[in-house]
A and B are shown apart, each in its own frame.
Chain A
Amino acid sequence: MTGRSLLDNRLLCGAIGIAGLFCVAELAGRTGLIDPIVFPLASTVVGRAVELAADGDFLADVVSTLGAWAAGLLLTVLIAVPVGFLLGTLPRVESALRPVLEFLRPIPSVALIPLALLLFSDRFDMKVAVIVYAAWWPVLINTMYGLRDVDPLAKETLRSFGFGPLAVLWRVSLPSTAPFIATGVRLAAAIALILAISAELLGGGSSGIGTFILESGSSTDALEYTVAATIWAGAIGVISNSLFTLAERRLFHWHLARTEGTR
């Protein structure tokens, strides 16, 4: 293998990047550029992260966060996809609701957490509500965008064989929009994780990655655990994103093959 083909491997490239960052951070700590009291050494953090992976309490927190994340994401899809279809197929309804949506969309979802805390007495419900509110935008917008992209001739083809509007929706509009919905769900998954942890950080509660970070305190020792927990949060995000990307490639290879073919 030549050096060039080694660099072509994306996984390897990424690994080199991570290793590089690790070395720079470690070196900065060792040379005193960054005081290890202020920010822990990279090697210490990694050690703590490995420790956490075997820590039952921390794992329970991860499961709690992932539970809210999964429930929120599922609810998001169940709400946003039908609403997207409704708005995408009924232009009148869309124009009526557009101003409301345009107003709501720029509101930072994190800003709604205090409100959600007042509205929901149950912490889990609060988390799920915040997740759904933040995560439904990419799913909704991608669904509507995908519907607009459905080839009218594909719909006419089915109509010409005598299929009714519902059959056309089910057999043409839905499969044709599905890759767009999937992309929306992948984006929503990342947002949902951010919101789940934010809600835990702001709203407290008894369990969750955010709660773990909040309860670590501020001693040097606690800082190491905080950073280690943060690294796990990032890792979970990367893993979920890769899994969704993989699933998209599997399920919608026809979409990729076609768009790559015409380019």
Chain B
Amino acid sequence: MLEISNLTHVYGGGPGAHHALGGIDLKVAQGELVCIVGPSGCGKSTLLRSIAGLLRPTGGTVTLGGKPVERTPDDLAVVFQDYSRSLFPWMSVGDNVALPLRRKGMDRPRRREAATEALEQVGLAGAAGKYPWQLSGGMQQRVSIARALAYRPALMLMDEPFGSVDAQTREDLEDLTLRVRSHHDMTILLITHDIDESVYVGDRVVVLSKAPATVAGDLRVDLPGPRDQITTRENPAFVHLRAEVGRLVRGMRNDPAVSS
């Protein structure tokens, strides 16, 4: 579905230029949930913005469904890392979630219904009438997740979507993401700095190196489904994969017995 080849991006020019992406190759199949991990500042958000067509990369190609991404592709939703800035302060939370649904040609009552349902799913049933700036950071983050979920995109890009919520809510949101994905046949790219999370939710974990970012490792997560916060995390395969990803993130050599 998504094909990225030799993607490079350089911010600025001259001696102050910053090479953020150093030739990334990545293929994502329809319905896959790929987690991307990598050190802070390595270029994860840059990669995501190139896929979303919000940034024109300086080199390489991104194709989505066979077509090169030049503008923002259709049927896409992004959960931005800077979630609070991506919510509109002049609209209520419910309207924020409902607004993108105009693109789907839904009428007002149906938009409202979908927004209410999505807010319920992220545990914010009562917040529809509030304004984003009246909510805590973690609640705002959940609103931006609800907005993307309500849209039911073919491709969902999530940039550290669970960073500001407590551990319990985080687990609930991870499970919600897994559920939504399987119900609606979404393809999801999820950026995270949490190694455990990447293994728990991902079908694949792609590890990026330090800037300029390249793919340092690409591991398939073969864990028995459906996943469960307790049993999956104590599964020896999970523990093993977690260590593997951790090693890759730290830039250590991959254990040849596991990588194939």
Chain A: residues with CB nearer than 8 A to chain B? 151, 153-154, 156-163, 171-172, 175-176, 178, 252, 254-255, 257-258, 261
Nearest Cβ on chain B to A198's Cβ, whole angstroms? 37
> Is B28 interfacial (CB 8 A cutoff)?
no
> What CA separation (Å) do A200 and B49 show in the bound complex?
59
Count residues of chain B with CB under 8 A from any CB of chain A.
23
Query: For residue B90, which residues in chain A have a CB less than 8 angstroms away from its CB?
Result: 175-176, 178, 252, 254-255
Tally the A-B contacts, defined by beta carbons under 8 Å: 59
B interface secondary structure, majority: loop
Asked if residues A160 and B89 are in contact (CB atoms below 8 Å), the reply is no
How far, in Å, is A252 (CB) from chain B's closest CB? 8
A162 touching B88 by the CB < 8 A rule? no
- Selected from B54, B74, B88, B133, the residue in CB contact (under 8 A) with A154 is B88
Q: Which of B86, B99, B100 contacts A153 (CB 8 A)?
A: B86
Contact A254 B85 (CB under 8 A): no
B120 at the interface (CB under 8 A from A): no
CB distance from A114 to the nearest CB of B (A): 44
B33 within 8 Å of A by Cβ?
no
Contacts of A171 in B (CB 8 A): 99
Asked if B245 is at the interface (CB within 8 A of a chain A CB), the reply is: no
Residues in chain A near residue B75, CB distance under 8 A:
162
B77 CB–A CB distance under 8 Å:
yes
CB atoms of A160 and B76 under 8 A apart = yes
Q: Given A151-B85, A153-B82, A153-B85, decide whether A162 and B52 contact each other with a Cβ distance below 8 A.
A: no
Specify which chain A residues have a CB less than 8 angstroms from the CB of B82 in the assembled complex.
153
Q: Is B80 interfacial (CB 8 A cutoff)? A: yes
* In contact, A255 and B86 (Cβ under 8 angstroms): no
Contact partner of B74 (CB less than 8 A), chosen from A156, A162, A252, is A162
Given contacts A156-B54, A255-B90, 20 further A-B contacts (CB under 8 A): A153-B86, A154-B88, A156-B80, A160-B54, A160-B76, A160-B77, A161-B76, A161-B99, A161-B103, A161-B151, A162-B72, A162-B74, A163-B100, A171-B99, A172-B88, A175-B90, A252-B90, A254-B90, A254-B131, A257-B134
